[in-house]
């Protein structure tokens, strides 16, 4: 299996622009998680899905952030409009119904100038 | 509230020396505990996990951890480190499917 796939790996954008991050979970996994990592706040869970349904979005910082999972093999995290404080590494992870282990993607490093 | 505390933000050791990375947790219910490793510019990779059973858990790359319920600890150990172990290490517990991470410990290996 190719593992969790994220794109793009790096994104540089200007403040006010829309940013879309993409994730393809491991085939057969039914749970998908979006995390954000910063020096100041460490690793934070933003939102997670079970069977394509959002279960807990309490970590989404504000209305500028939205996430979708239209099918079992694809999810997006959108920031509109982006701000410099959104600069971080965003990770996607997935897990199977038989295991508590979460498998992480390589991350997307977002820089908002 | 459930939480994880990693007591050391940085741990420098010499190559081939033993290392212990400390982790304490707070939970009012039974816990499942994890150690993840993050190499530079990469995602997180599972080192080991404790779900139940033996309190001594062996993981990949020669690492092991011991679950100690009375001390609410889950310290990570390796008897002899290598340069390739340079990375950030995260302790975590799982709460209703959500991983709650500690702040991480940066392990640096000096030759």
pLDDT tens per residue, range A20-53:
999 999 999 999 999 999 989 899 999 999 999 9
- B35 and chain A in contact, CB less than 8 A: no
In the Cβ-directed half-sphere of A8, how many Cα atoms lie within 13 Å? Answer: 9
Tokens of A25: 């979970």
**Residue in chain B nearest A10 by alpha carbon:** B41
CA angle at residue A18 from A13 to A22, to 5 degrees?
90
Residues in chain B: 111
Mean pLDDT computed over every residue of chain B: 93
**Chain A residue whose CA is closest to B101:** A43
- In the predicted model, is pLDDT for residue B80 greater than 70? yes
| pLDDT, greater one: B97 or A89 | A89
- Which of A36, A59, A104, A106 is the mutation pick for testing B, counting most B CBs within 10 A? A104
């Amino acid at each position: 299996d190719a593992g969790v796939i994220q794109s793009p790996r790096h994104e540089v954008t200007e403040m006010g622009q829309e940013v879309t991050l993409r994730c393809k979970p491991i085939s057969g996994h039914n749970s998908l998680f979006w995390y954000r990592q910063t020096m100041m706040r460490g690793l934070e869970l933003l939102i997670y899905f079970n069977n394509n349904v959002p279960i807990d979005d309490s970590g989404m910082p504000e209305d500028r952030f939205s996430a979708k999972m239209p099918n079992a093999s694809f999810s997006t995290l959108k920031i509109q409009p982006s701000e410099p404080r959104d600069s971080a590494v965003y990770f996607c992870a997935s897990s199977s119904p038989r295991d508590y282990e979460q498998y992480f993607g390589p991350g997307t490093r977002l820089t908002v100038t | 509230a459930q939480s994880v505390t990693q007591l050391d933000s940085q741990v420098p050791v010499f190559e081939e020396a033993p290392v212990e990375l400390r982790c304490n947790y707070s939970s009012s219910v039974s816990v499942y505990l994890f150690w993840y490793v993050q190499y530079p510019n990469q995602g997180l990779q599972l080192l080991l996990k404790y779900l139940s059973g033996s309190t001594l858990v062996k993981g990949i790359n020669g690492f092991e951890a011991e679950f100690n319920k009375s001390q609410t600890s889950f310290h990570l150990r390796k008897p002899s480190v290598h340069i390739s172990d340079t990375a950030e290490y995260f302790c975590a517990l799982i709460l209703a499917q959500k991983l709650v991470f500690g702040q991480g410990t940066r392990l640096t290996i000096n030759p």
